[in-house]
Amino acid sequence: MGKDKKNKASKHIRCDVQFDDNPQGVFRAGDTVSGTVEIQLDKPKKFRGIALRINGFAATSWSAKLTGTDAKNVTSKKKAHFNGREDYFGSITYFVGSDVGNPLEVLAGVYRYPFTCEIPPNAPSSKEGKYGHIRYVVKLSLERPWKYDHVFQVPFIVQSHADLALAPDRMLQPARAEIVQTFYFGLTDPLIVTATTPRTGYAPGEVIEVTVHVNNQSSVDVRSIAVKFQRVDTFLSQVPVVQQHLEHTVLEERTIGRVAGRNDAVFEENILIGSTVPSDEERCRIIMTRYEVEVMIRPVRSRKKLLLALPIVVGTVGLPKTLYPMQLLEKEREALGLDRPPLTPLPLESPPPYPDDAQPSTSRAFAADGPTAPTSTEEHEFEKGSEPYTPRDFDEND
């Protein structure tokens, strides 16, 4: 039930909205929403009209300082409210009266009115964020021209359809990112970190196999490596100017291995994707959603945090298994558990909060193929005349 300073509820009026064969109110884009509105009046009431509105929309909103100039051409910063809105569909039905008619008396009793509305097939998924939301609402208004309206509203959930098989070449494309870092003003040999995933497209219930290769040719130890699977929502305003805010939601985070200087190691992490909204950067122009695997490397004796990002596309329907190399299927079976059947996407009606369904870390480290970097201490040119570097225990205070 909605309520604000211009729309008030009444203790003499009760309203209930029931969706047909869908008590949870969860629909997919392209579905038809149908149900019944029940209104109970404890005593006679006069209304200009009783209207049912069903709409879907996106809205963004936040406050920030905006730089501008006054009449004297003096630059200053003033607080401004940024917002944006995009509507996807809307319908209005008057069960009693109209928006311009004279007041009508409605006797005490129980009244039931059926309703129906089609969701566009390209409607975006419902979302809630810090700087905006995408919502779908059934709102009943009992309109009174001389007083505030009585308003009751019930939200429902919409999930868009994203079939990864529509772009198999792109979804099967591996993701790769690499960073090369030196220390002490470039005097050390490089620390080279490479992160990869075997493909880009995944669906809930599937596993992202992340491989991190650390080729540490420098004399600086790597304290830790963190792997995050996160959703990144972009919110855009339309007035007074176009501005954007990003919101990062970490769905799963793992901390893996330490690598001493002049060592080479490879780590693997299998991340299970739980129930979540699909990637969407096209259906809504003011709220976009993407996913990424972020790898953060923290060297010892350095304030630098090295970041790698691997783009991931999450759909509602996964790629056909026939497109996978067999070794990828084996990795997914291993992460899901060999003694139980492969995990299917979670029921639409009751998506559990992430990461309650997360799997334990499957991180493992092993030597890279081919010649390995020397593990003995070497004297670099910049170290001549000083004590050679000696590997030591990691100190969290460094």
Bridge pairing between strands 150-159 and 26-28: parallel
Q: What is the pLDDT of residue 301?
A: 76
SS3 369: coil
Q: What is the pLDDT of residue 281?
A: 95
Q: What is the pLDDT of residue 344?
A: 43
Q: What is the pLDDT of residue 386?
A: 33
Q: Whole-prediction pTM value?
A: 0.78
Ranges of the chain whose pLDDT falls below 70: 1-10, 70-72, 324-398
pLDDT digits (tens, 9 = 90+) for 329-355: 666 666 656 544 444 444 443 333 333
| All domains in the chain, ordered by first residue | 13-68+75-159 (2.60.40.640), 164-336 (2.60.40.640)
224 and 254 in contact (C-beta within 8 Å)? no
Q: What is the pLDDT of residue 345?
A: 43
SS3 106: strand
DSSP H helical segments within the chain, as ranges?
168-171, 326-336
What is the rounded CA–CA span in Å between residue 30 and residue 56? 13
Hey, what amino acid is at 180?
Answer: V
Among 263, 258, 265, CA closest to 393: 258
Q: What is the pLDDT of residue 330?
A: 67
| Cβ neighbours for 74, distance < 8 A, ≥ 6 positions apart | none
